[in-house]
Structure 1
């Protein structure tokens, strides 16, 4: 209730007898800041600053910091710089130093960014270092005291303050490094040198790695490889080697293996290094050895979820299904909503031929990732195997809705509508499949068959003609065209009969050529190259003569095709379901009532 609060504060501060008006004006300025009325917030902060005595140094610094933040919100960076510079000269702190860097970055002043970064680095943390937590002797009383204060509230506060300082410094370095020099690499080098000269020397390694990551984002892998020489010489040898191994694992297996070995040698007890080494062995197909590395990683750190997941995959590869399931169930207790873990458990139950459990775990999976098309199609498949077509259709349709390019799902949905005798609805799915696989003639044949089954013969004929235009040598299409043109009494039937004869003849000659080639090669292997030359050449001449005659004339087809054309075909949608005859009745002979005379009462009036 900001308006009521402001009115109440206004009544109080108007009372001249009240000596703490400056403190209340800070509250009023805070309300204006929340309401994004920055000009009034600055005004009241300044009024409060005038009324608060200079002995309250810490409060005055906080008010000036708020004024600086309000100036940043309004884009008045120069005024903000004045406030933060004053704070950094009188009572420096991390927030003011970071905000000062942001202001100089906003106005693009390179030199002042450098100076502000140096000021931020020198801000005293006012905390003790870890030396006091190391026992100087074996005195039991001292050891108990140190053990008691290792994780007390004061120690936790020191950790938080140090972590906050490192976050500000790292963020500031990553922000200004590309802006203070002509290239980001030179800027990073300057920041690294400044950090190395301070008591935050351990952050220099993180900055080096961050520089390498920037090169990775720019896909400059050679610069990344150059950095390994510097990174491997410091305390992050194992982490750097592990990262290099991961980078190479998908490209060069030998490089990945070398870096994984280097990471393990540098720190044998690092679970990440051991897991990555196991990954390289797994990729090489040695699953038993990979499992040993994952087990060692788990012995060093029982909470290493990557190793536990990977050992589950390894047992799955080794067909040790019960052990794999045990691993993933343990992992599921740690990572409750991990989609990968839930899917692996469902997959294992499917392998164990327990579809009910598989369905149950997949239901949990789609509650976590409801738009996962693969999980939805897998649920549809399991319900289909169980004979529950309606539930299978529901999940297949949802899978198609989220990912309409899965050929298996499209084919199932089309077949479902064919089975339920809704051929018109199946057409859209087969058309989608034809768009995805335009070189597969079967989808287009299915579309035409759907039109034919639904009674739209003209559309079916047009579709077959289009298929014939794209696939002129497709025998099935020509047979359908012959049958349809015959049934519809079209004059084009003779043209398609001729084409069908030609295509069948070409197919027969190709088969004979392949067969004779196989027979000739087998004969040459049995009898040697010299015994079959004359017969082979004679056959070759006759076959060549036939092939030369085929394109230019129809004589070979006419002379060899006196028999009736075979226009039989196999419907790609399968045999059509016979519809029930609900209105059938026995036909009566035409002259059944011929001898009977109709009475007057039966004639129309």
Structure 2
């Protein structure tokens, strides 16, 4: 294709892109690149088109190729980083966006996206630095400003809970300079100034928050505590009476800040404000560490935010301080179950059952724990059957029964229990994995497909299972779906060359020679002497109508890949197709020297002579 024609087509593609007709723009750019791979801007804009169309993985593939062609292009790394950010691969998005700002230190939007990438990784100080640089370059950009202030807010909260009060105050006061109505900043400044024993300032910020939410009992309790600190006892008494009305209690709440803190802890827990619950409960524990009730509240708060290790430690403290309260043992058991610490849980259940052999909750979990700890199969099965009869359909029990039947080499019975489990809990991981395994062993391909699809719908990021699904798709010739699944893995396994080549094969099987060519060319860069890859590249070029390009590639390859009969045969066939008979004869004769038994060479020679 002539350079003029390419330029005109490219202008047309850009026009369609500006009009947001990304599909048409992509078609034109693909047409350009199917004719020549020596036009780098087409790779850049085609990648951007695919990003806009939501095909992020294909965008990454094209933009990576562009950055290979133009390693000094900051804009290329910017768009590649943006696509990795959209794909959820924050490590690589950070890597490429850092390259973009290194090449162009005044690239404000790149700094903005870099800040967002750091924010996604919870690297708050790096995010703040990047957003600050972005704002210095583009001071009027409200999106960057909001992202900057949000990062500062999160960081300020973290500093508060780490008890770096002065640093946290600086951040929240800075936020208020940009937004005087920021409720979160006022709320934390109230708590910060209270901790720094500056009740006047604390009250000012708290009253602002109360002007917006006047009937929040937690905020009112805080106000009463600050008033007592300030020495304004009469107003504090009025506040406490008002709190009694809000909480609908006639109990004497007292005028001691410690008593108010205890009420505050309970209110915050009921409001599901678990971080704040932990903060104030730990504050009281510092005065007296042997308070089982506070330990149990902290443990339950940690359990609710998913920090099971700390929850376990506090429940153990609660149990050690007061072994008579059965709820503490239940709480510890629940955490151990969530931690999958089954051996330790079994010991805790033994303690509960020793105290009360008829405890139904303990018996239920004891049966499940037997199944998890590898106890005698027959004994375990008996316990589980008793509990199923007692409790009726229960996914945990039924799944455990299925597992026991599998251990007893009874897959048909096991499958029945797993199927019943899925009716009640379609997202049961153990049941789905077991059914995938059973159907694979019994050769029930349709069922295996169904279970794999159901599993990946719930657990889409399980790469080993996704690879099993891909293998089954390839085995049954479903190349289009296999390609989609591979494309979901590649942003994670960026250097998996075998997977990339499999993707190229899928594209070829589906007649998508353009995308297959891009992958083969990337692989060829890493292994330029591979005869297999050279042949694959030339095949794709031929299918795209770029026969002359294919000939030039093979001519170049034959100079350093010596005596490869497969490549020479392909080159000879191309010369014959383009009616360059003299070169065809030369190359085919060379094949007969390299591989005297090559019937293809002799057949080719006979065609040329005829």
TM-score norm. by structure 2 comes to: 0.43
> Which fold has the larger relative contact order, with Cα–Cα distance below 8 Å and residues 6 or more apart in sequence?
2
**Which structure has the bigger radius of gyration?**
1
* TM-score when normalising by structure 1: 0.43
